[in-house]
Structure 1
Amino acid sequence: MKSQLLFALSACIATLCSCNSPVQPGRADFVLEHADIVYPDSICRDCNIAVIDGKIESIYPSSSDEKWVGKEYLNVRRQFVYPGFIDAHTHFMAYGLGKYKVDLTGTKSWEDVVRRTVQFAKDHPELTFIEGRGWDQNDWEDSSFPTNDSLNFHFPNIQVVLTRVDGHAVIVNDYALAQSNYIPGEEIEGGLVHAPNDKPTGVLIDNAINLLNLPPHSRAQQIEALLEAEKDCFKAGLTSVVEAGLPRESIELIDSLQQAGILKMQVYAMVSDSPEALDYYCERGPYKSDRLNVRSFKFYGDGALGSRGACLIHPYHDAPNERGFLLHDPEHFRSAAARLAKAGFQMNTHAIGDSANRLILDIYGKFCTPENDLRWRIEHAQVMDSSDFAYFNTYGIIPSVQPTHATSDMPWAENRLGPERIQYAYAYQRLLDEAGLLALGTDFPVEDISPIETFYAATIRKDGIGYPPEGFQMENAIGRVDALKGMTIWAAYACFEESEKGSIEAGKWADFTILDKNLLRIKSDKILSTKVLTTVVHGEVVYKMY
């Protein structure tokens, strides 16, 4: 698979540096002038791009005799123009809904979490329930899970649900637990309610979260959330996002907003795993519009490393009696894979632990070959057994990874895994060597929305303050060209969209991210200060800094 993929994409990219006009010049809807276009292996300096009906019609030197008359012009004055950045793994809707939740990112203690939640409730007396997100007990001096006593004191009569940063654990007050479907002593497949001495602490892990009964957000709130998320994405330079799991109702809402011209973000939507969704979409087949692509399903193989829900082959280094767990019986994944392969849908499965990765890769191997081009994906591929990397090449499987997970988790990941197993975690170069490509994303709101941070974490392997000085496991840092591809053409390929986006060439959508620096050439300590100047989607300026 690797050699075939590299040949196909190299052939595509080889055409990009040509500045020859494919047609006779005339009238264009939009002309981008005086751009330094950044290609993987060169720069087209001082070039113009003519756009008709949202697609690139011609790329040509500004000094040439070729002249296009545009309805609209944008002179970028030799700033650096990239293919529109694609985030290959996001929670777009959940990010937008964050405006209705207390922000718990960066909290330094459980007491800090409670203080913020109390203040949020005072600031929003209209809310009928309280949600929050972003706490991470690994950042606290006491890294054990908290108990909900203080929540019960402050909130005796309203549901409070505070979600861990990774979305795989929550802490709730007793009132929320009383409104839930929790039955003491009942075993939960793929989940856990912390209840030492049969007294729940309020901490719910993975599938146990599904026991909660929270009121849904209104349609108006969802629309406002989508538009807020779009605004932040455009400001960050994103022109397309992969939404990693939505129910049918949310996907249809996105489609209706796009069709009405209200929502302009391009979305590759994974359908959340459910029997009803499988029946509906497998019967009707994939759906595609100019801005929405629905041809994949999202599954959860296991939980997260930070909450010890990731399913490991051997016990956790810091918890010898725990190995995590699968979120479903293996037969669930096997039967779904058979249905999706038959119906022509892509299967994308969250797999963090080495045991979960092994299981899902083995199941994929029953259906995937490099020749049948299913392009099934492993989302995260975070902890691998050394013998399992070869599956990606053998079966043509795509690793979809989030580089900032590595730099966020590095302070405590070795404690979870031990010194030997950590060598095969966040192993992006090793995955790239096997698969021939990586689809890069952020997993926002788990991590920051910025693709610049993705690029920095993938190539430099340091956090925002330059730690560690030597970089984290630098043998698995990827090159800058590969990181750029992972945010553009490889991300598009992972969504079956490489013929319409992911590179700047005639016939593709006119999606551009315009920066003030050349990411392929600047010093590493200057990367994070890079500014997004302008974002263009389908030939329309959707964000401009100045």
Structure 2
Amino acid sequence: MSIEIYVNGNVISLDNNKVYEAFAVRDGKFLAVGCNKDLLSLFSKEDYKVTDLKGNTVVPGFNDAHMHLLNYGFQKTAVRLNNLSSIDEMISVVKSYINKNNIPKDTYIISRGWNDNYFKEQRLPNRYDLDKISCDHPIIFSRICGHIGVINSKAIELLDIDKMKENPTGGAIDRENGVPTGILRENALNIALSKVPPTSVEEIKASLRSAFDDLIQCGITSVQTEDLTHCRSLPNLIQSYRELEEEGNLPVRITLQLCLNTDELLEEANSFGLKSKVGSDFLKVGGLKLFQDGSLGARTAAMIDNYEDTPDNGISIYSQEDLDSFVTKGFKQGFQIIIHGIGDRACEMILNSYEKISKDTEDNLRPVIVHCQFTNEDLLDRFKELNVIANVQPAFVMSDYPIVEKAVGKARTKSSYAFNSMIQKGIPVAFSSDAPIESFNIIQGIYGAVNRTDLNNKPVGGFNINEGVTPLDALKAYTTGPSYMSFDEDIKGKIKVNYLADFVVLSQDITAVPKNKIKETKILETYVNGIKVL
């Protein structure tokens, strides 16, 4: 295969902070990096093609370290619940959706994205609201965070929610006078969703195909995605991705984070020979994903102290003993462990479990806590000591800042979303979007991580601006950080000889422009395996 040489660029290699003019690609890998003259003379006797970068900036391909790609694809065709201003509007929008699409009776209508903070009614929707949409279709609508849901009377009947007299472990069923209101929290919502028929292979593949182009438009060449929760069938999920790879229809690299949260699922994964690192450069298994608490918006994130506006401190999905047990089982089966933890109590419990397994082995386990929004100095020191990866989401700063102080008070607000402190302490950090909860637009994520504001520059001065990171550190957290998290630091995340030739051409140098101009950066071209896909 001929060599392609790219010249006249501002090539931010992320290899020891070196910046180059040019690089060469062959067989999907970087063959050489250097200056224009040296590369052109080096290959003067070989067959090569030259591409002029015209002074544009080149960076390694972006890597979103935690998202829900399949759910993003599902949401593209599901009824849209985002940005609704009232429960009445929800009722109207969904009724119109059912009529327009002629959805047959008894067909489940499942979607996600409503946010009660925007509702003029200033309350959660309930079964009686959803009954106004339909009593013939079972309806399950998750809040934008995914940690609270509401179902209608038809779904309550089909899913036997009315027969559950006690709250499930790690969850809650809201009731009035002993009657379920339709509001399900944490594991109660998970149980309801688990009873819905699984998604077929063809439906999974169609939804994924609809999402790939959107990733490429954002310069994303690798994703680490948790999809099992959303299709409810491990065999169907694995078959779907493997067929897409065999068909040559995986345009980005996929690392699967598998929510194997029961002994049965762990056994099923073992029967397929699944464990971390199994697979290819385009499709492989990542970590075992668990949830230890909920979300800030739902007030179900597990906090050490009570919330300021709610007389409790959130929900722990597992007891410490059960969490220790499951973490140990997953690790012994060959999985890296990745656990959702937002509140400081959840992070503390997860670190306790990680400390126990760290004593059982000398291996670098690279355990992960996803979100870690509320920490403190002691917890961050434990992250460093145990080499726990902090997988955090800049977009959460951009959307959460209006509600943080109301929820947890000033003191805890000042130590929240502590991205810069994590980096300065030497904690491994990987940025991600948690899409579709937030956008996977990486440029916007870098802007938010640096400026600590939303795209309208609010709040003025930035939210906990001392925790803003440098543009270079933000870039690393979307490239080298995620590569380390998925054990790929020796093959991707840098523009370096023998690394996979995944790279993005930008309209400006995000490490050099004024910080408030970062969001104006355009993705000009995206390359995966040395092939231009945008």
Partner of 1:421: 412
Q: Deviations over 1:61-83 (max 9, x none)?
A: 22332336567664332211100
Partner of 2:363: 372
In structure 2, how many angstroms separate the alpha carbons of the residues matched to 1:276 and 1:72? 53
Q: What is the CA-CA distance between 1:404 and the residue it aligns to?
A: 0.9
- Residue 408 of structure 1 contacts residue 463 of structure 1 at CA under 8 Å; is this kept in 2? yes
In structure 2, how many angstroms separate the alpha carbons of the residues matched to 1:316 and 1:466? 28
Q: Secondary structure at the match of 1:195?
A: strand
In structure 2, how many angstroms separate the alpha carbons of the residues matched to 1:468 and 1:423? 14
Aligned match for 2:26, one of 49, 52, 56? 52
- Residue 56 of structure 1 contacts residue 508 of structure 1 at CA under 8 Å; is this kept in 2? yes
In structure 2, how many angstroms separate the alpha carbons of the residues matched to 1:197 and 1:477? 48
In structure 2, how many angstroms separate the alpha carbons of the residues matched to 1:381 and 1:495? 18
Partner of 1:278: 266
In structure 2, how many angstroms separate the alpha carbons of the residues matched to 1:206 and 1:462? 29
- Residue 392 of structure 1 contacts residue 434 of structure 1 at CA under 8 Å; is this kept in 2? no
The structure-2 alpha-carbon separation of the partners of 1:187 and 1:262, relative to structure 1 and needing over 3 Å to count, comes to same
Which stretch of structure 1 is more off in the superposition, 335-344 or 78-87? 335-344
Is 1:431 the equivalent of 2:437? no
Aligned match for 1:165, one of 144, 165, 171? 144
Q: What is the CA-CA distance between 1:259 and the residue it aligns to?
A: 2.6
Q: Deviations over 1:468-509 (max 9, x none)?
A: 110001111111111111001111001110001000001010
Partner of 1:466: 457
Structure 1 letter corresponding to 2:140: V
Partner of 1:85: 62
In structure 1, how many angstroms separate the alpha carbons of the residues matched to 2:4 and 2:527? 11
- Residue 451 of structure 2 contacts residue 516 of structure 2 at CA under 8 Å; is this kept in 1? no
Partner of 1:24: none
Q: Secondary structure at the match of 1:367?
A: helix
Partner of 1:350: 340
The structure-2 alpha-carbon separation of the partners of 1:341 and 1:104, relative to structure 1 and needing over 3 Å to count, comes to same
Partner of 1:191: 171
The structure-2 alpha-carbon separation of the partners of 1:203 and 1:79, relative to structure 1 and needing over 3 Å to count, comes to same
- Residue 109 of structure 1 contacts residue 141 of structure 1 at CA under 8 Å; is this kept in 2? yes
- Residue 20 of structure 2 contacts residue 33 of structure 2 at CA under 8 Å; is this kept in 1? no
In structure 2, how many angstroms separate the alpha carbons of the residues matched to 1:53 and 1:407? 40
In structure 2, how many angstroms separate the alpha carbons of the residues matched to 1:148 and 1:391? 43
- Residue 93 of structure 1 contacts residue 222 of structure 1 at CA under 8 Å; is this kept in 2? yes
In structure 2, how many angstroms separate the alpha carbons of the residues matched to 1:174 and 1:157? 9
Structure 1 letter corresponding to 2:265: A
Partner of 2:285: 294
Q: What is the CA-CA distance between 1:266 and the residue it aligns to?
A: 0.6
5 Å-filtered alignment, 1:125-164, equals: 125-126=102-103, 128-164=107-143
In structure 2, how many angstroms separate the alpha carbons of the residues matched to 1:39 and 1:254? 31
Partner of 1:23: none
RMSD of aligned alpha carbons: 2.1
In structure 2, how many angstroms separate the alpha carbons of the residues matched to 1:413 and 1:396? 28
In structure 1, how many angstroms separate the alpha carbons of the residues matched to 2:416 and 2:452? 13
5 Å-filtered alignment, 1:91-240, equals: 91-126=68-103, 128-182=107-161, 183-209=163-189, 210-212=191-193, 213-240=195-222
In structure 1, how many angstroms separate the alpha carbons of the residues matched to 2:207 and 2:214? 11
In structure 2, how many angstroms separate the alpha carbons of the residues matched to 1:162 and 1:481? 39
In structure 1, how many angstroms separate the alpha carbons of the residues matched to 2:100 and 2:458? 36
In structure 2, how many angstroms separate the alpha carbons of the residues matched to 1:102 and 1:311? 31
Aligned match for 2:473, one of 482, 489, 493? 482
Q: What is the CA-CA distance between 1:43 and the residue it aligns to?
A: 6.5
Structure 2 letter corresponding to 1:294: V
In structure 2, how many angstroms separate the alpha carbons of the residues matched to 1:533 and 1:70? 26
Q: Secondary structure at the match of 1:240?
A: strand
Q: Secondary structure at the match of 2:425?
A: helix
Give unmatched runs, 5+ long, in structure 2.
none
The structure-2 alpha-carbon separation of the partners of 1:282 and 1:222, relative to structure 1 and needing over 3 Å to count, comes to closer
Q: Deviations over 1:449-470 (max 9, x none)?
A: 1011110111100001110110
Structure 1 letter corresponding to 2:143: R
Structure 1 letter corresponding to 2:146: G
Aligned match for 1:457, one of 445, 448, 452? 448
Is 1:264 the equivalent of 2:255? no
In structure 1, how many angstroms separate the alpha carbons of the residues matched to 2:471 and 2:362? 29
In structure 2, how many angstroms separate the alpha carbons of the residues matched to 1:72 and 1:300? 49
Which stretch of structure 1 is more off in the superposition, 491-500 or 62-71? 62-71
In structure 2, how many angstroms separate the alpha carbons of the residues matched to 1:534 and 1:340? 40
- Residue 271 of structure 1 contacts residue 277 of structure 1 at CA under 8 Å; is this kept in 2? no
Q: What is the CA-CA distance between 1:280 and the residue it aligns to?
A: 4.3
In structure 2, how many angstroms separate the alpha carbons of the residues matched to 1:218 and 1:74? 43
- Residue 20 of structure 2 contacts residue 34 of structure 2 at CA under 8 Å; is this kept in 1? no
Q: Deviations over 1:374-417 (max 9, x none)?
A: 11001111112443221111111111101111221111111111
Q: What is the CA-CA distance between 1:184 and the residue it aligns to?
A: 4.6
- Residue 61 of structure 2 contacts residue 526 of structure 2 at CA under 8 Å; is this kept in 1? yes
Partner of 2:37: 63
Structure 2 letter corresponding to 1:66: L
In structure 1, how many angstroms separate the alpha carbons of the residues matched to 2:47 and 2:427? 40
Which stretch of structure 1 is more off in the superposition, 507-516 or 268-277? 268-277
Which stretch of structure 1 is more off in the superposition, 94-103 or 213-222? 213-222
5 Å-filtered alignment, 1:511-530, equals: 511-530=502-521
Which stretch of structure 1 is more off in the superposition, 34-43 or 334-343? 34-43
- The share of aligned pairs that are identical, in percent, is 28
Q: Deviations over 1:169-220 (max 9, x none)?
A: 1122111111113125322111112212223322211111122443333322
Is 1:335 the equivalent of 2:322? no
Q: Secondary structure at the match of 1:89?
A: strand
Q: Secondary structure at the match of 1:410?
A: helix
Q: Secondary structure at the match of 2:490?
A: coil
Which stretch of structure 1 is more off in the superposition, 180-189 or 63-72? 63-72
Which stretch of structure 1 is more off in the superposition, 228-237 or 420-429? 420-429
- Residue 381 of structure 1 contacts residue 399 of structure 1 at CA under 8 Å; is this kept in 2? yes
Q: Secondary structure at the match of 2:294?
A: coil
Aligned match for 1:319, one of 310, 324, 327? 310
Q: Which runs of 4+ in 1 moved over 4 A?
A: 40-43, 68-74, 280-283
- State the number of aligned residues: 515
Give unmatched runs, 5+ long, in structure 1.
1-26
In structure 2, how many angstroms separate the alpha carbons of the residues matched to 1:92 and 1:217? 14
In structure 2, how many angstroms separate the alpha carbons of the residues matched to 1:85 and 1:422? 30
In structure 1, how many angstroms separate the alpha carbons of the residues matched to 2:5 and 2:13? 19
Is 1:510 the equivalent of 2:501? yes
Q: What is the CA-CA distance between 1:281 and the residue it aligns to?
A: 4.2
- Residue 92 of structure 1 contacts residue 444 of structure 1 at CA under 8 Å; is this kept in 2? yes
Partner of 2:225: 243
Q: Secondary structure at the match of 1:241?
A: strand
Structure 2 letter corresponding to 1:96: G
Q: Deviations over 1:197-247 (max 9, x none)?
A: 223322211111122443333322211111111111011110000113535
The structure-2 alpha-carbon separation of the partners of 1:248 and 1:31, relative to structure 1 and needing over 3 Å to count, comes to farther
Structure 2 letter corresponding to 1:67: F
- Residue 428 of structure 2 contacts residue 481 of structure 2 at CA under 8 Å; is this kept in 1? yes
The structure-2 alpha-carbon separation of the partners of 1:335 and 1:72, relative to structure 1 and needing over 3 Å to count, comes to farther
